[in-house]
A and B are shown apart, each in its own frame.
Chain A
């Protein structure tokens, strides 16, 4: 079975801190994604990557950056954490078929519940 592992289930940080969320997948997937999930807003894409060192902005990239130095690892960085970044963060991965990023199922980790105080 595909396993997507997020480094922490719960995390509490302070406003202004630099926060790193780590995600590792073990299925040699080309694509990796970071989402946040908020009540009433659903899942929203922050950033995605279709190859090592490649990244693309999603719908809500402001205040975030990402790093993909190895194929299996995709990191989300909150440059200067703010209270409005308190949320559930979900990482996902998938195979890439042809030139498309989707049309393959995405496999999710169990999320990191991040609280910014």
Chain B
């Protein structure tokens, strides 16, 4: 069966360190993978999209990698700050059976400790 797994439900990290979040998937062949941030009581906010032919994408302190062989995406936040504390969701396109949907992982709650 198809599955998206984010490495942990919660991740605590010291301010200034690099946070690394993992998204693994099985039985998908996504052409695109997206990362979102969700704050408590709010809807998810889009951060980055990476295509299958892109190994890496950067946006300010954020970096995403996409390894289709390992079926894994890594999401890095460098020089993390308390304001980065939120839940981060990965999502990928499910194009199976001709139906295009975005399927989300359950998220990793990141806490950056001052």
Give A contacts to B, CB under 8 Å.
4, 33, 40-43, 45, 48, 56, 58-59, 90, 92, 100-103, 105-111
Q: Which of these, B42, B44, B100, contacts A102 with CB under 8 Å?
A: B100
Chain A contacts of B44 at CB under 8 A?
43, 90, 106, 108
B31 within 8 A of A: yes
Min distance, Cβ B50 to any Cβ of chain A, angstroms: 11
Chain A contacts of B32 at CB under 8 A?
102-103
Does A105 lie within 8 Å of B49, measured CB to CB? yes
Give B contacts to A, CB under 8 Å.
31-32, 34, 41-46, 49, 51, 89, 93, 95, 99-107
Does B42 lie within 8 Å of A110, measured CB to CB? yes
Does B34 lie within 8 Å of A45, measured CB to CB? no
Chain A contacts of B100 at CB under 8 A?
100-102
Compute how far the CA of A103 lies from the CA of B51 in the bound complex, rounded to whole angstroms.
8
Q: Name the CB-closest residue of A to B32.
A: A103
Q: Which of these, B41, B51, B104, contacts A42 with CB under 8 Å?
A: B104
A-B contact pairs, 5 of them (CB 8 A): A4-B43, A92-B43, A101-B101, A102-B101, A105-B46
Compute how far the CA of A111 lies from the CA of B103 in the bound complex, rounded to whole angstroms.
18
Does A42 lie within 8 Å of B106, measured CB to CB? yes
Does A42 lie within 8 Å of B43, measured CB to CB? no
Does B102 lie within 8 Å of A42, measured CB to CB? no
- 10 more A-B contacts (CB under 8 A) besides A45-B101, A102-B102, A108-B45? A4-B43, A42-B105, A42-B107, A45-B102, A101-B101, A101-B102, A102-B100, A103-B31, A108-B43, A110-B42
Chain B contacts of A56 at CB under 8 A?
99
Does B93 lie within 8 Å of A103, measured CB to CB? yes
Q: Which of these, B46, B95, B105, B106, contacts A106 with CB under 8 Å?
A: B46
Q: In this complex, which of B41, B49, B100, B105 has the most chain A Cβ atoms within 10 angstroms of its Cβ?
A: B100
Does A90 lie within 8 Å of B105, measured CB to CB? no
Q: In this complex, which of B42, B44, B93, B102 has the most chain A Cβ atoms within 10 angstroms of its Cβ?
A: B102
